[in-house]
Amino acid sequence: MIKKSLGILLLFSVVCLDSVNSAEKDIYKKIDLFGEVLEKINKEYVDEIDQSESMDSAINGLLQSLDPYSAYMSPEIFNEMQTETSGEFGGLGIEVSMESGVVKVISPIDDTPASRAGIKAGDYIVKIDDTQVQGKSLAEAVDLMRGPVGSGIELTIRRRGEKKALKFNITREIIQIASVKSDLLEDNIGYIRLTSFNDNSGKQIEKEIKKLEKNKKVKSYILDLRNNPGGLLSQAIKITDFFLDNGEIVSTKSRKPSENRRWFAKQGDLTNGKTLIVLINYGSASASEIVAGALKDHKRAILLGENSFGKGSVQSIIPLKNDGAIRLTVAKYYLPSGKSISDVGVSPDIDISEETDDFKIKTDTDNQLSYAIKLLNG
């Protein structure tokens, strides 16, 4: 009996080893095939090519085939990302990703050139000045959009519902983001606008809530996360906790079970349970979706506006031996309900779309904010 069991075990081990060897052999064949293709291109292609650039494109293609957020950064681009260029280069004020070979706008940031020009979440940038975006990596496209402060740039945009491409002429500026703004609206509604999740967002939100709470007449709150592309997970957790007394806020899951994590709220709702409406739209992504989704799952807030973007993944920057790096998706976010945000986003409890083409947040054209105010006033 023991001999028979041992024989089965040995046979199983040999089969497994053969499977591994077969898989490895297949990988080596593919690597050989890649080398052959590169050699043919180098010899036969109509124009002379830069083999180094071709290899960079191949690596980037591999990463972008995984998801829109994974990408390769050459040593030059990685170095630029790490270097502070205060006063030297300007930007447009948009958060972007890559989708189907073109740059997709996740969100324009408040009070920036892109926002003022009329760029919208979900727009596809197909051309930057005279350069087609198709075939470029996300890092290359972003590099094309950077330039000296005061210099002009033309973006050619494809927008859902528009038959013709739209052109926007924008002047680059130094992008300075005031991530938190607050106001006391009519009928004593505390309004807090959060445009990004940076190092100080939690402290700023806490300060604004406490300032509003000193006014004993404040009866309810509006937290505006529209066109907020996200940022630091730690700040999303901290800000969500301000409105909860207990319960799970978010969890992350990866291929390595040891790296799976869960975060919970601590006792102490800074607003003392006052009615809360959270405004979201397609430009609300990542950390914004964590906050909105957690507050919805705990029935702590009413979500109003449009379905959010659907970026529910965690990226890590991993340095490489050549002094470049890869941005790689290493985990996914999950809401307290267990739902993943990825690709589906967070749906509002009350679906209210932007009514006009000249819609601007917190102006007379902001029908979503107007609806929220009416709702809170009964």
Displacement of CA 104 from its chain's centroid (Å): 11
Of 146, 171, 196, which marks where a domain is finished? Answer: 171
C-alpha triplet 109, 113, 117: angle, nearest 5°: 100
Task: State the pairing for strand pair 261-264/248-253.
Answer: antiparallel
Same domain membership, residue 334 and residue 255: yes
Q: How far apart are CA 26 and CA 20, in angstroms?
A: 10
Same domain membership, residue 198 and residue 345: yes
Same domain membership, residue 166 and residue 185: no
Catalytic, 311? Answer yes
Q: Which of 104, 120, 238, 311 is catalytic?
A: 311
Integer distance in angstroms from the first to the last C-alpha of the chain?
Answer: 79
Q: What is the pLDDT of residue 9?
A: 43
Output the domain CATH number for residue 234. 3.90.226.10
Task: State the pairing for strand pair 220-224/189-194.
Answer: parallel
Give residue 122's domain range.
83-171
**Which residue, among 193, 283, 201, has the nearest Cα to 234 in the 3D structure?**
201
Q: What is the pLDDT of residue 76?
A: 84
Asked if residue 17 belongs to a domain, the reply is no
Same domain membership, residue 369 and residue 255: yes
Same domain membership, residue 277 and residue 221: yes
Of 112, 144, 171, which marks where a domain is finished? Answer: 171
Of 145, 171, 197, which marks where a domain is finished? Answer: 171
Q: Which of 196, 286, 288, 308 is catalytic?
A: 286
pLDDT string in tens for the chain (378-residue length): 444 444 444 444 544 545 556 777 788 888 889 888 888 988 899 998 888 888 888 898 899 889 988 989 888 888 876 653 333 457 898 889 888 778 999 989 888 899 999 999 999 999 999 999 987 888 888 889 988 889 999 999 999 889 999 999 999 998 877 789 999 998 899 999 999 998 889 999 999 999 999 887 899 999 999 999 998 899 999 999 999 999 999 999 999 888 899 999 999 999 999 999 999 999 999 999 999 999 999 999 999 999 999 999 988 889 999 999 999 999 999 999 999 999 999 999 999 998 877 888 999 999 999 999 999 997
Structure tokens at 357: 């083409």
Catalytic, 110? Answer no
Same domain membership, residue 367 and residue 230: yes
Place of tokens 């267990």: 338
Same domain membership, residue 213 and residue 122: no
Output the domain CATH number for residue 88. 2.30.42.10
Asked if residue 7 belongs to a domain, the reply is no
Asked if residue 128 belongs to a domain, the reply is yes
DSSP annotation of 278: E
Structure tokens at 186: 């009519």
Total domains in the chain come to 2
Asked if residue 41 belongs to a domain, the reply is no
Same domain membership, residue 356 and residue 215: yes
Q: Give the count of alpha carbons within 13 A of 191, CB side only.
A: 18
Same domain membership, residue 127 and residue 246: no
Same domain membership, residue 218 and residue 164: no
Q: Which of 67, 297, 308, 313 is catalytic?
A: 297
Catalytic, 187? Answer no
The CA-based dihedral angle spanning residues 93, 178, 329, 33, taken in that order and rounded to the nearest 10 degrees:
20
Same domain membership, residue 341 and residue 260: yes
Phi, psi of 279 (to 5 degrees): -95, 130
